[in-house]
Amino acid sequence: MTLEGFTPYKPEAAQLYEKKRWWLGLTMGDVFDKASDLYPNKEALVGSGKRYTYGQLRRIVDRLAYRFHKEGLNKGDTVLLQLPNWSEFYLAYFAAQKAGLVVVLLTVNHNAREISHLANLTRPKGWILPAVYRKTDFLKEVRQVQQTNPDLKKVILVGDNVPEDCLSFEELLKTEGDEDEIRKILEASRPDPGDVLQILPSGGTTGLPKGAPRTHNDYLCNVEYKSLAWDLNVNDICGVVSTVGHNLALLVCVTAPVLHGAKVVMIDSTYGEDFCKAVEEEKITATCAVPTIVSRLVNTPNIEKYDLSSLEKMYVGAAHSAPELVKSIESKLGCRYVNAFGMVEGPCCQSRPDDPEEVTLNTIGRPICPYDDFRTLDVDGKPTPRGVEGELAAKGPGIFTGYFKNPQANETAFTPDGYFRTGDLAVIDHNGNVKITGRIKDVIIRGGENIAAQEVEELISSHPLVVHASAIGIPHVDLGEEVCAFVTVVEGAQIGAQDILTHLEAVGASKLLRPARIEFVDHMPLTAAGKIDKKAQRNEMQEKLKAEQGMS
């Protein structure tokens, strides 16, 4: 079933990937079924105070998928999935796959403005989310998004006090039915491996997120080769501490364990103490995280009092890992640090457990799949030699084919011969290891989250007293980078940083888009081409931060 707005693989490429078995020819639902058939009595999932074997999960997931169908969510329909690191995410995700639904992945940090944009793009029929999570009541966001999405009628809430016009996830889990009927419905709902299984929000560089559609074939290619690259196996116990609504956690510590019949432990906290307790109690052997979380972990007070001896490997991606951080994890915890790079669009590289230290410290390793072709391009789009910097680009069985319903973006995102341009500057050495040297895209990476500088600038500029705004990233010891905004205002206007922040909150800007620092200036420095000189602004802030640190 071809999803309108999806760019199919070229027939000759698809035939090659299938013939060579670079594509497994399975669906995500098939992978789940295979694990439960092989290991029915093996513990598979821990989270939300509950424990499940693969056999128990199979029964729950199948009945939940059947209930989705009975509620009018049919094969090929899109559904928003927005849950924290709870076991319910796992149940909902694999039930959606068994029902043949297309999952649109969200985090609990996405706000109504961003969700409305993604809903308008993907036209979902359902939305699975918490009724309340921590201090957030999600029902307000539901009502706001529904105003512009009349087809979004099936809202499934996890939690108590579910309104009459919504469905209770807990009640859906109580579904019973005739075994033969359930089997028949699920067989009819099975998608083709070439169908889209999910649409992942891409941390856009020019505004609201784009949608990256991934098929069962190409995404499972990522899952298989990435898990093999860091030796994930049936005996592993994977701690999910990174936000499960991000592709990093979904790819590395949710779907990969199921492919191998391993165990998943959901950890709904990013505090070092909570992670250490989970490792000690569950004997976690592997985990994935962003450098921010890793930094918190390694600096956990009294970390030596926890028994972390089971932890063998740690996959770290989404942002740059400083060599000092790699060394501190390996020396303090005694586990292997996997330095990684990945994109929702498919390009993935990572160091291997047996790589020399200099590779793990100074590169992101080599491509996970030997059949994905990575290269670097010069300003004219021509390949550069090994060892020469250029824009990183990739094509192959694990790389997507285009953004969802966005031909304009696809024109610039791909070379004429089909290589996806990542927007990252890199050098590929003679051993195939990749070192990221910079970014072409104007992006600020805060705690592993991509923030489009242009979006921050547009939101600040919507303030009636603002003339110009420029956003850059400045160093932060824990988050890697945080947002700093330079602002010029109408002559004679008297406004301060709090006025800007209040305005951003009023227009629905997420917390990620609100600058940590705002500098009011009389004018913006310009390049020879008349554009704002962000390099000069970064240099200015670098000197200012040095001076401030010297005073403290």
Where does residue 49 rank: exposed (0-12), middle (13-18), buried (19+ CB within 10 A)?
A: exposed
Is 73 contained in some domain?
yes
Long-range contacts of 530-535 (CB under 8 A, 24+ apart): 532/468, 532/470, 534/442, 534/453, 534/470, 534/472
Which residue in the block uniquely carries the two structure tokens 């109580």?
Answer: 174
DSSP β-ladder status, 434-439 and 449-452:
unpaired
Task: Assess if residue 335 is contained within a domain.
Answer: no
Select from 172, 191, 210 the last residue of a domain.
191
User: Looking at the chain, how many residues does it have?
Assistant: 552
**DSSP H helical segments within 157-306, as ranges?**
169-172, 179-189, 216-229, 247-249, 256-260, 272-282, 291-298
Is 371 contained in some domain? no
Tens-level pLDDT at each residue, the chain (552 residues):
779 999 999 999 999 999 999 999 999 999 999 999 999 999 999 999 999 999 999 999 999 999 999 999 999 999 999 999 999 999 999 999 999 999 999 999 888 888 999 999 999 999 999 999 998 999 989 999 999 998 999 999 999 989 999 999 999 999 888 999 999 999 999 999 999 999 999 865 446 789 999 999 999 999 999 999 999 999 999 999 999 999 999 999 999 999 999 999 999 998 999 999 999 999 999 999 988 788 888 889 899 999 999 999 999 998 778 888 899 899 889 999 999 999 999 999 999 999 999 999 999 999 999 999 999 999 899 999 999 999 999 999 999 999 999 999 999 999 999 999 999 989 999 999 999 987 787 888 888 888 888 789 889 988 999 888 899 999 988 888 999 999 989 888 899 999 999 999 999 898 889 999 999 998 888 765 556 788 889 999 999 998 888 765
DSSP H/E element including 33: helix 28-38
In a domain, 114, yes or no: yes
Give the list of residues 6+ apart from residue 438 with CB closer than 8 angstroms, or none: 424, 425
Q: Which residues pair with 394 in a beta bridge?
A: 374, 420
* Model pLDDT, residue 275: 96
Q: Is residue 109 part of a domain?
A: yes
Report yes or no on 87 lying in a domain. Answer: yes
Q: Are 450 and 107 in contact (CB under 8 A)?
A: no
**Number of structural domains found in the chain:** 2
Alpha-carbon span 222 to 348, nearest angstrom: 8
- Domain hosting residue 528, numbered range: 443-551
Q: Closest Cα partner for 56 from 86, 102, 26, 90?
A: 90
Distance CA 475, CA 394 (A): 29
Q: How far apart are CA 157 and CA 83, in angstroms?
A: 10
Q: What CATH number did the domain enclosing 516 receive?
A: 3.30.300.30
Residue 163 domain flag: yes
What per-residue confidence (pLDDT) applies to 529?
Answer: 52
Alpha-helix runs per DSSP H in 101-174: 112-122, 139-147, 169-172
Q: Please answer whether residues 463 and 500 qualify as being in contact, where contact means their C-beta atoms are separated by less than 8 angstroms.
A: yes
Asked, for residue 35, whether it belongs to a domain, the answer is yes
Q: Distance (Å, rounded) from C-alpha 188 to C-alpha 200?
A: 25
Q: What is the pLDDT, as a whole number, of residue 527? A: 62
* Chain position carrying tokens 């905004």: 485
Task: Provide the CA 444 distance to its chain's centre, in angstroms.
Answer: 15
Specify the DSSP element, H or E, that contains 363: none
CATH of the domain at 115: 3.40.50.980
3 state SS of 487: strand
Last residue of a domain, one of 169, 191, 213: 191
Q: Do residues 172 and 373 make contact, with C-beta atoms less than 8 angstroms apart? A: no
- 163, 191, 219 - which closes a domain: 191
Contact 58, 66 (CB under 8 A): no
Phi, psi at 456, each rounded to 5°: -60, -45
Assigned token pair, 470: 């420029």
Give the number of other Cβ atoms within 10 Å of residue 365's Cβ.
24
Calpha distance 258→289 (Å, rounded): 19
DSSP string, 476-543: ETTTEEEEEEEEEE-TT----HHHHHHHHHHTT--GGGS-SEEEE-SS--B-TTSSB-HHHHHHHHHH
DSSP three-state, residue 442:
coil
